[in-house]
Structure 1
Amino acid sequence: MIDQAFSAGAAIELLLKATLATVDIHLIRESGSNHIAALSLSGKHTKPAVPPLPDIRTLAPPGAVTILELLANQKFSGSSDLKTVLAVRDSAVHMGFVDARANERAVGGLVKLVGWVLAVRRGLGQDGDWDTFWSKHAQQAREILDARNEEIFTEFQRKISAAKARYAKLAGTESGRDAIPYLEEGEEPLAVNEISRETVCPACGCRGRTRFEVVLRPLVVDSEFPPGQPANYGQVIGRPDQFHCSVCKLALVGDDLTAAGIVEEVALSAEEMSRDGFFDWLLMNSIDEQP
């Protein structure tokens, strides 16, 4: 079981980094790591003094996922799965101990993560065939993925049912019904890199709010730049990050958003981009400024 936990963590980390390195070796290099080693591995440096095991510090898996999101132009919904896989791996490596139930969840998370990365690889023109990757374990991996998706859907339905019950209790009294319009107006303060849009609650039908994470998407101009090379960074979009209904208290994140159909990216309005502090955030987080 310890071997399985270690292998799961190593597999997703290596797949993430292999995908990025195939695009450009420098994408996996952590800021401040050995430039010469990275150049040598990419065949762009001619000096012979390269150690057998190049000294190159690489991104942690969450950082690799962030870059893949930009390359694929799609939000990654399995952050909790990634955390589980890495936590179980770290427990095996550093403590020599693995919880059986946590390990089972990690295997399910791994299969889901691999599915996402393979889809990204296909979009980037890389080999992303499911059967080739899993080889003789392909059918077993599909069964694990189906079970994981069923688990996600069941949990989503449980949350919807609980939210409907809370709404029914609230709407069952006159004072509760009177409070609903006021509850619909409630919202927590936004961070500078967040926007919020009104969304019909999938549980009670009231006015909920979807929060979007603001990200910068490179624009590509094929006539002037090679495919995949950013021409400028003028496209600012919002990706669904979480949903909350103040009436029935339904809260959705990650896979729950996909189950609810809250997946569409949005373009920011002029008003949203003119909020206090947003322009400064935009300058600080432009792709040109990133290491």
Structure 2
Amino acid sequence: MTSKSADRIATGVFIAIAVIIVSILVGLFSYILVKGLTHISLDFLTSPSSNVRAGGGIRDQLFNSFYILVLTMLISVPLGLGGGIYMAEYAKPGKVTNIIRSCIEVLSSLPSIVIGMFGLLMFVNLTGWGYTILGGALALTVFNLPVLVRVSEDAIRSVPRELKEGSLALGITHWHTIKTVLLPSAFPSILTGAILASGRVFGEAAALLFTAGLSTPRLNYLDWNPFSERSPLNIFRPAETLAVHIWSVNTQGLIPDIEEVSNGSAAVLVISVLLFNLLARWIGTRIHKRITATK
């Protein structure tokens, strides 16, 4: 077999793999959207859920999903970025660094149900908080932290070494070089890792079952006092997310329109993830252009 024939075969195989992957994704999304879009309405998006009658909405679950996402990313992104900077720029090669890296890899492979049980022990029982939004956000932080650390480390290491050496040669300090040279160059890859982590937050159910709970109190969206029991901003209240709601309505079977609610919720979840990713990409592109002075 000639090299040109082998190249054509390899090219065809890779194209076929790409077509299969795209077809699976398109088929999955099409099935979810076709089944669920017909059940989405303004009333469905703005009404609270009901466990005893048909016609319940997903207002509270949708808000809870975004609220837990924001809290989780506010906690996990600084920690993950700091850990990545340390591993890439400050950690010296040796046994201690290898042990830390091994622990990160093991933690990233843990099932979400194990993280949920850990969150139940640490953030529900030991703290005495009960089922809370904060407990769910902390459990998801443990869940996403290894991914963010590894992505940040790899992104910083992938920056051309000449940029760092040129900055240091000009007499700029190490930290200032990291802040003004390495991080702006690594920002697109770090943003990709953060978007992937946020997608896991949207779709996570097992860890939140044991930390954020299966219920949501009656909320008053005009009450923005974070210490009020009925305030949606209260981080010490239980909160059922959209992914947990889909699992709940399909397993409990208490409402007569289970299929309509679950299909509509699944479609809203997919659309929310898509819109969030597009918005994050757009904001990230604007920030990258601003910090790198590119057009």
Length-normalised TM-score, structure 1: 0.24
Higher relative contact order (CA 8 A, sep 6+): 2
**Structure with the largest fraction of strand:** 1
Length-normalised TM-score, structure 2: 0.24
